[in-house]
Amino acid sequence: MRMRTLINAAILFVVSTAPCLGQEKEKISLLLDRSPAKANAIGYINVPSLNKLMEDAGFSSRVTSTVDEVWFIADLELAEMRPKWEAGYAVLKRPVDSERLADSLGGYVDTVESQQVIHAPHQTYFVPGTEHPERLGILRPTDRAFLAGWLTPTMNIQYTPFLNSQANQPEAYLSFMMAIELRNVLSPVSLATRLQSIESLKSNSPESVAKVLASIQGVSVIVGRKSLQQCIVKFQFQNSPASLKPIAAEMLAEILEKNGLSAAEVKSWKVAVEDNTLSLQGPITQSTLSGLMSVFSVQSQAERAAGRVTLEGGEEKQVAYQSKHYFDEVNAIVERTRDHKSQTTGAMASWNDKRARQIDELPTLNVDPEMIQFGVDVATLLRGNALSVRQTNIQAGKVKASQSLDSGYYNDGYGYYNSNSSVDYQRVTDAMARGNAYGNYRGALSQIDKMTAEVRRAMTEKYQIQF
């Protein structure tokens, strides 16, 4: 235990004092070494590099202009793709003042393990750097004992070879990286049953595919610094995935779609197998990239803090800028919703529900009440569309079930036929359900556009800055 404490002390010294870690252990590995509990996900974002790639690709939005780099680890709830907890730190363009940041966020300054920390609303701790104040630590949720365990780690956590290898990748070549450990997550028995609904596997035995998939050790997503055309997704297995190569792209696209993350571009990606690793490489779209980045919140929380400390002026000016920032955040979420191309209505409902939740979680301190109501109304429309789609799909399922009961066969002298084919009726039912769902979705977006224009005019006139 004493040796572990000495090692942790050395790691803490390196993180707080070294201006450049080029010749040292990568920062994600340092985060794993100092983890307050076992994590199953890690990630890194080089913001300037990613912004350049997005600009080169003609994307309509940037990541942020107030943060340079972000490192994070998390314990991800895989079923919902939401972190149970997450921790990390960011390098900001400007350092933060604890008292000022706490005041601007509506939080307070506390001291934990002799370290000054900021307890902020929305379940977030901010930990300003000491030797390097431009570095900002972030931990969620706000469990004080958990924070103490992060600041003075004592746990000796043994990570898998997969996560350790991903954490030690040279960051100098990365614009974006995330990796998730999946060892012992899937059961081949239950997975075989679920795979029966995957269209791309119709010509394959679900049991044999499930056996390979269940041996998965982890998945990583990497975007380098040359182009967004070179996104690489790697799956590492215990058993050889060679049998999956012919169907990997179609299967991955379909599985992502069923889980609310449409990535149709994956179907055109190049597939390769080497030993027990299956990789796919190709261009990544703005919608897919934003969906991946929205799984974790460390980057958005860092941007939130950096944006707050750069505000100048009196109380009315603060409200004006905070309202403008809130307005921009809501619009960015709406644009990600508009750009998302779901192949099924169920995936669309899942996506819209998650985007509504993102709006709900936006900070509202010092935001104009009218602007807050705008955000509430937008979230309500997105959530209402998701509910409407699910109800439509349930009703369509009931109709299709009754249609499948038809057994009216007739003989016209040439053979038996069914004049009321349930297959044809079910196709019509599916088409009607899709039409109603997308019609409701377009109606919701039209209402949001109208509300956006109205609140933009009202806020611009009220605060005399362009919203």
Q: What confidence tens digit (pLDDT) does each residue in 276-305 have?
A: 999 999 999 887 888 888 889 898 888 888
CA angle 317, 323, 325 (to 5 degrees): 105
pLDDT of residue 57: 82
C-alpha 126 chain-centroid distance: 21
The residue assigned the tokens 């299956």 is: 278
DSSP 110: E
Whole-angstrom CA distances from 42 to 21, 29, 353 are 18, 9, 25
Across 33-42, 85-94, 370-379, 425-434, least confident range:
425-434
Helix (H, G, I), strand (E, B) or coil at 207: helix
Instruction: Categorize the per-residue pLDDT at 310 as very low, low, confident or very high, splitting at 50, 70 and 90.
Output: low
Whether pTM > 0.75 for this model: the answer is no
pLDDT digits (tens, 9 = 90+) for 203-260: 888 889 999 999 999 999 999 999 898 899 999 999 999 999 999 998 888 888 776 6
Q: Left (φ > 0), alpha (ψ -120 to 50) or beta: where does 465 sit?
A: beta
Average pLDDT over residues 35-55: 91
**Number of residues that this document lists for the chain:** 467
Which of these, 359, 357, 360, 350, lies nearest to 387 by C-alpha position? 350
Whole-angstrom CA distances from 289 to 262, 267, 359 are 11, 16, 19
For residue 400, pLDDT beyond 50: no
Which of these, 257, 258, 307, lies nearest to 287 by C-alpha position? 257
Instruction: Categorize the per-residue pLDDT at 108 as very low, low, confident or very high, splitting at 50, 70 and 90.
Output: very high
The Cα–Cα gap between 24 and 44 comes to 16
For residue 326, pLDDT beyond 60: yes
For residue 15, pLDDT beyond 50: no
